[in-house]
Amino acid sequence: MQKTLTDRELLDSLEDAVETNLRRHIEVADGWQPHEQVPWSDGRNFAFLGGTDWTPEQSELSDTARLALTVSVLVADNLPSYHRELGKYLRTGAWWRWVGRWTAEENRHEIMIRNYLMLTRAVDPVALERARMAHMTEGFNRAPMHLIDVLATCAFEEAAAAIRHRNTAALGENPIVTSMAEKLAADDELQAEFFAELVSAALDLTPDQAVRAIADRVADFRVPFVELPGGGSSDEALAAAGIYDRANEGELVFKPLLRRWNIFTRTDLTEEGDKARAELALYQ
């Protein structure tokens, strides 16, 4: 029977892997600048400063692109909640430096998208601000999880975000939106890589415990979602627009990571690990 490790033991045992993967992440990450992606010359004042307020005909984005970017900025705007959720588990050493790096990258996403939406008058700024206030006031809280559960959840969430942004880029809306979405997706993929590498390290350290955590997190996985200004949830709207459909999560999110972790070919599991693995058979 394998030993079940406490979160404290896991934090200590995996810290070298965190340090190694943080260095790799920083070395390969694209240091793009959010201010360089925004067409500042398109901006003009709103009525408060003597200009004109927003009207629907000012938006030049398609409904699908407008929806995708609105969801992305609202999700990113709730960064303080996500930072808190990660920080309460990883507030130590190299782990905490990773939380800081991840937070800075996610904040960069929010800055770029929101500036673009406001400058190009792509969305109603009043409706967006009201939605942002409501979304952040409600906040984001997860049920308490153990460390490997946190890592697996984050790997799944970042993989899902990358899919959403790759599909936004594939719309070919305009060169700026395509470039922004591709940069977001590339960041998401590198973040998913970081979390996936740590899950791999945990699997080598305590296979049964890690597979159990992965199976539990697949069973209750749900990407962050928002209530939209015009009504309805982002889940439904993004699925209808072909940007992200939860019905495809098994094929696009779970299967690639389960293959990466060699879940179905591992020979180091005991009966407990095999039981957890059997719960994942649908994604083999």
* Residue showing tokens 């973040």: 191
Q: Is 87 within a domain?
A: yes
β-sheet bridge partners, residue 227: 233
Sequential pLDDT tens for the chain (284 residues)? 678 888 889 899 999 999 999 999 999 999 999 999 999 999 999 999 999 999 999 999 998 998 899 888 888 877 666 666 777 778 788 988 998 899 899 889 999 999 999 999 999 999 888 888 887 787 666 677 888 998 999 999 999 999 999 999 999 999 999 999 999 999 999 999 999 999 999 999 999 999 999 999 999 988 877 777 777 788 888 898 899 999 999 999 999 999 999 999 999 999 999 999 999 999 99
Q: How many domains does the chain have?
A: 1
Q: Is 171 within a domain?
A: yes
Q: Where are the alpha helices (DSSP H) in the chain?
A: 7-28, 63-77, 79-90, 93-119, 125-138, 147-170, 175-205, 207-219, 234-241, 249, 255-260, 271-278
Q: Which residues are annotated as a binding site for Fe cation?
A: 106, 109, 158
The whole domain housing 249 covers 7-29+40-280
Q: Is 34 within a domain?
A: no
Q: Is 240 within a domain?
A: yes
Q: Is 195 within a domain?
A: yes
CB 229 within 8 A of CB 124: yes
The CATH number given to whatever domain includes residue 114 is: 1.10.620.20
Q: Is 35 within a domain?
A: no
Q: Which residues are annotated as a binding site?
A: 106, 109, 158
Phi, then psi, of 235 in degrees rounded to 5: -55, -55
Does pTM surpass 0.85? yes
Q: Is 210 within a domain?
A: yes
β-sheet bridge partners, residue 233: 227
